[in-house]
Amino acid sequence: TSGEPALRPDAGTDPSGTAATTRAAAGLSIVMPVYNEAEGLAALHQRLVAVATGLRRRWGLACEVVYVDDGSRDASLAVATALPADGIDVQVVALSRNFGKEAALLAGLEHARLGAVLFMDSDGQHPPAMVERLAGHWIEDGYDVVFTAKAHRKTESLPRRLSGHAFYSLINWGSRHKIPEDAGDFRLLSPRAAAALRRLPERNRFFKGLASWIGFRQLRIDYEPAAREHGASSWNIGALIGLSIEGLTAFSVAPLRIASLLGLALAATALLFGLKILVEALVFGTDVPGYPSLVVGLMVIGGVQLLMIGVMGEYIAKILSETKGRPVYFVAEHQVKRADTTPAPA
Ligand code: UDP
Ligand code: MG
């Protein structure tokens, strides 16, 4: 990407130094997964174009936006392909069916042509106005991963907050590398961080965890997510549980460790209990009441064993799906629209 944008009023008086200029030269790809967002997409695109114009003025930063249509059932794809490329390159990558958000993010990451990559939801919950701030931390301060976290989750129900907390406690338990709680998918990656993410070979992806796992200079920004502008969140409780199991088994062996500890505790209890019975029978000659303890013992052991076989099954399923080595997604259509070269009016 050698083509300098025509409009760059502050060229020559660049206040932010050569490191910033070098970084900005890499450009920025904004990746947006789209699933049934036809209603709000055109308006969001307009806001993005305005943001991109600001970025180009301030740092000479070239931008493109990559819409990944994740098999939407509404007119999202038609809306996306009709979006104007006003001073910003527009790519539309249409997946062959709904593969889920993580797959859509990977498709966007792999199609991004400019150096830095920004992930952003297409439902308006990730405010475009914040993009400049995120970009600033990369361009001027040199951060590699600028991620956002919900400032507080008051809008969420108590069970959801509690389960979220439990999830992160479990996933981070005993691991040297902690995944930050509450981090969202609104995240900017420097060119080298984006390249690192592309090199991770796993098919079951949990971007929140991966983006933190790669390391480099990370910066957390707290913000207040906007309310959804149109439609409804496509996450239901089942999908959330699915993603949690996905994240857990991809990132942590805590469930397996819990299985071992539980087994150990049960075995120790059984040993003590057995000793007690032995002493009672041999020393005191007591008639040991067997039936209730027998049933309880059987049920506890049976239940725990089934549960732990299920946990192991999750990991085996993960191994199976990784060894099959299937592509994460298929692209049905791909459109690239070059930016209109006429600069936007000041
Ligand atoms: N999304 C997607 N594929 C899906 C579900 C969602 O690409 O199967 C996109 C959706 O269009 C949106 C983002 O992922 O841009 C977040 O989805 P949503 O708003 O439903 O999730 P939430 O904000 O509740 O986490
Ligand atoms: Mg949303």
ipTM of the complex: 0.94
Rounded CA-CA distance 161/282 in Å is 54
Rounded CA-CA distance 329/95 in Å is 7
Position 229 pLDDT exceeds 70: no
Phi, psi of 228 (to 5 degrees): -60, 135
Please report which ligand is nearest the Cα atom of 37: 1
CA of 104 to the centre of ligand 1 (A): 10
CA of 249 to the centre of ligand 1 (A): 22
Strand partners, 69: 34, 94
Which residues place a Cβ less than 5 A from the ion ligand 2? 123, 125
Whether the Cβ atoms of residue 64 and residue 104 lie closer than 8 Å to each other: no
Question: Tell me: the pLDDT tens digits for 41-86?
Answer: 999 999 999 999 999 999 889 999 999 999 999 999 999 999 888 8
From 39, 234, 236, 237, mutation site for ligand 1 pocket: most ligand atoms within 8 A of C-beta: 234
Choose among 17, 33, 11: nearest CA to 95: 33
Question: Tell me: the pLDDT tens digits for 127-165?
Answer: 888 999 999 999 989 899 998 887 766 666 777 777 777
Q: In what order do the strands lie in the sheet with 183-189?
A: 218-223, 145-150, 183-189, 116-119, 28-34, 63-69, 89-95, 331-337
Name the residue with the closest Cα to ligand 1, atom 22.
233
Rounded CA-CA distance 226/44 in Å is 13
From 121, 125, 208, mutation site for ligand 1 pocket: most ligand atoms within 8 A of C-beta: 121
CA 68 to ligand 1: nearest atom: 7
**Sign of the CA dihedral with 245 first, then 250, 252, and 256 last:** positive
Whether the Cβ atoms of residue 160 and residue 182 lie closer than 8 Å to each other: no
Binding pocket residue ranges, ligand 1, CB within 6 Å: 33-35, 37, 70, 98, 100-101, 104, 121-123, 125, 233-235
pLDDT of residue 104: 95
CA 36 to ligand 1: nearest atom: 11
From 67, 79, 101, mutation site for ligand 1 pocket: most ligand atoms within 8 A of C-beta: 101
Choose among 247, 236, 241: nearest CA to 211: 247
Rounded CA-CA distance 346/273 in Å is 82
Q: Which residues contact 127 (CB under 8 A, 6 or more apart)?
A: 223, 225, 226
Rounded CA-CA distance 126/322 in Å is 31
